[in-house]
């Protein structure tokens, strides 16, 4: 998720101070991705360094208002006009966990899948409850929030489908056939052994 471009998009509507940016981000996303104020100020410092925002007026409470520059507006527009590129490799902890677990002897992968399925279904129920708890489904804040929640619901549903698929595939293989022993091939690179000091 791009905090950088999200803050630029909010600042494109007008100058804001740090806590105000956090409140606006939360209001527009339903607090589904909590940002701490330190993260916001660190991002603002980097945006200022890159010439995308600048400090503006200070109010009577000492709030420093940040404003977007022309370069910041151009970057924000480019972000909105470009598709989000998903990485080719996975850093999904669950996929890696199951890939490793299925290659270890004596690990009950079916139990791991069942535990995850229960957790994923509970999360899905919670997300559905949250989605239908909205009071004004036609308001801009509610619509923006529901888009984020819908994305989370679809991801949770996809995870449950993937777990079902994984369970079916693993059922076709006997447990002993899946375990991998450590390879005896020596990697070409690695940390060289330290030479023993001569006495």
For 20-38, what is the mean pLDDT? 84
Q: Is 16 exposed, middle or buried (0-12, 13-18, 19+ CB in 10 A)?
A: buried
Terminal Cα-to-Cα distance of the chain (whole angstroms): 57
Residue spans of the domains in the chain: they are: 3-81, 93-178
CATH level 3 topology of 3-81: Arc Repressor Mutant, subunit A (1.10.10)
The pLDDT of 34-51, averaged and rounded, is: 93
pLDDT of residue 116: 93
Task: Tell me, yes or no, if the pTM score tops 0.85.
Answer: no
Give the H or E element holding residue 18.
Answer: helix 18-29
Q: What is the pLDDT of residue 134?
A: 61
């Amino acid at each position: 998720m791009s905090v950088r471009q999200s803050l630029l998009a909010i600042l494109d509507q007008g100058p804001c101070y740090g806590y105000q940016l956090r409140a606006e981000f939360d209001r527009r996303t339903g607090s589904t991705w909590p940002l701490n104020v330190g993260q916001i100020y660190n991002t603002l410092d980097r945006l200022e360094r890159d010439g995308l925002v600048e400090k503006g007026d200070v109010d009577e409470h000492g709030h420093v208002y940040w404003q977007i520059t022309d370069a910041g507006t151009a970057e924000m527009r480019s972000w909105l006009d470009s598709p989000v590129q998903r990485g080719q490799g996975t850093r999904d902890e669950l996929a890696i966990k199951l890939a490793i677990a299925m290659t270890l002897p004596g690990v009950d992968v079916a139990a791991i899948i069942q535990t995850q399925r229960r957790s994923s279904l509970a999360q899905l129920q919670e997300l559905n409850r949250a989605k239908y708890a909205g009071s004004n489904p036609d308001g801009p804040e509610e619509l923006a929030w529901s888009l984020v929640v819908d994305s989370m619901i679809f991801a949770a549903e996809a995870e449950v489908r993937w777990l079902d698929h994984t369970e079916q595939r693993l059922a076709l293989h006997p447990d002993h056939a899946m375990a991998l022993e450590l390879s005896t091939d020596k990697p070409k690179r690695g940390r060289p052994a330290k030479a023993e000091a001569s006495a």
